[in-house]
Structure 1
Amino acid sequence: MICWNPPPMGWVKLNVVSGFSIARQKAVSGSIIKNEEGNILGSGFRVHHLVGTVALAEAIALLHGVQFASEMGSRYVIAESDSRLVINNINSKEDDYSETRPLTWDVKASTRNFSECRFQFVAREGSSVAHAMAEEGLPIRLFLG
């Protein structure tokens, strides 16, 4: 069973999630920040208009999550997303020519206030708290319907 794993002592873990509607070109992103004891330090949601793909929705969710962690004053951050594509683009040393390029560049730039930030892929089941928050924070059935 895949479950949430705490960050190392002194670090926080940021989990992000997004929901996306092709028909409405809307996305919702949610983020949750927890410490090594599993205590929630902050969470938030945003609705985004004119989003055309799932990859863009995930990149937007990660950007807003990283900005949120920075605003909270976090110094050591592990950012997790269930989008392998977006995480790979951010971690790549090669030039990113994907549609998410402007967003992944902004994500990297937003980490300058951190002492250290790691980006990693986590299966959807490993971020169940963020997904549950998204379902509670915005009626996904109405949003995506």
Structure 2
Amino acid sequence: MIHWNPPPSNWVKVNVDAGFSAAKQLTTSGFVIRNEEGLILGSGFRVHNLVTTATMAEAIAALHGLQFASDMGFSHVILESDSKLTIKNLTFPGGDYSETRSVTFDVKVWARSFSGCRFEFTARQGNSVTHALAEEGMRRLEDCF
């Protein structure tokens, strides 16, 4: 069984996920920040218009998750996503030439603002809380932190 795993001591885990509706031309980015005990230290979702692909929505979710973690003052962050492509683009040592390259670049810039920052893939089952937040954003159609 796959489930959420806590970060090491003195680190936080930022789980991110995106909701996407091509019909509504609407996406949401959800994020949850938890410590090694599993306590939720922050969470929220943002609603976006005119994002045209799920891939871009996932990259934007990563960006917003890191921005929120930075705003909260965390120094050691593991960003976890169930998007293999997003994690691949963020960890690939060469240039990102995908449609998300501008967002990927911004995520990498934000990552340098932390003392430690890692990017990891998790299966959807390990990201269920964040997935639920992204879905809630699609229902509410407003930002919530």
TM-score (norm 2): 0.92
- Structure 2 equivalent of residue 40 of structure 1: 40
Identity %: 62
- Opposite residue 89 of structure 1, the aligned amino acid is N
Amino acid corresponding to residue 97 of structure 1 in structure 2: Y
Instruction: Single out whichever of 23-32 and 56-65 deviates more from structure 2.
Output: 23-32
> 3-state SS of the aligned residue for 2:10?
coil
Whether the 8 Å CA contact 1:82–1:124 is kept in 2: the answer is yes
| Aligned-partner Cα distance in 2 for 1:38–1:133 | 17
- CA shift for structure 1 position 135: 3.4
CA drift of 1:138 comes to: 4.2
1:11 corresponding residue in structure 2 = 11
Which residue identity does 1:17 align to in structure 2? Answer: D
Task: Note if contact 2:28-2:137 (Cα within 8 Å) is conserved in structure 1.
Answer: no
Kindly state the Cα deviation for residue 23 of structure 1 after the two structures are TM-superposed: 1.6
The runs of 5 or more residues in structure 1 that have no matched partner are: none
Please say if residues 47 and 138 of structure 2, whose CA atoms lie closer than 8 Å, have aligned partners that are also in contact. no
Consecutive unaligned residues of structure 2, counting only runs of 5 or more, are none
1:132 is displaced (CA, Å) by 2.4
Please give the alpha-carbon distance, in whole angstroms, between the structure 1 residues aligned to 2:59 and 2:131: 16
Q: CA RMSD in A?
A: 1.4
2: CA distance between counterparts of 1:137 and 1:47?
7
Structure-to-structure mapping, 1:51-90, within 5 angstroms: 51-90=51-90
Kindly indicate whether the alpha-carbon contact (under 8 Å) linking 2:47 and 2:137 is maintained by their aligned counterparts in 1.
no
TM-score normalised to the size of structure 1? 0.92
Question: Is residue 70–residue 111 contact of structure 1 (8 Å, CA) maintained in 2?
Answer: no
**How many residue pairs get matched?**
141
1:61 to partner: Cα distance: 0.4
> Are residues 1:134 and 2:134 paired?
yes
Matched residue, 2:103: 103
Stretches (4+) displaced over 4 A: none
Say whether the 8 Å CA contact 2:27–2:138 is kept in structure 1.
no
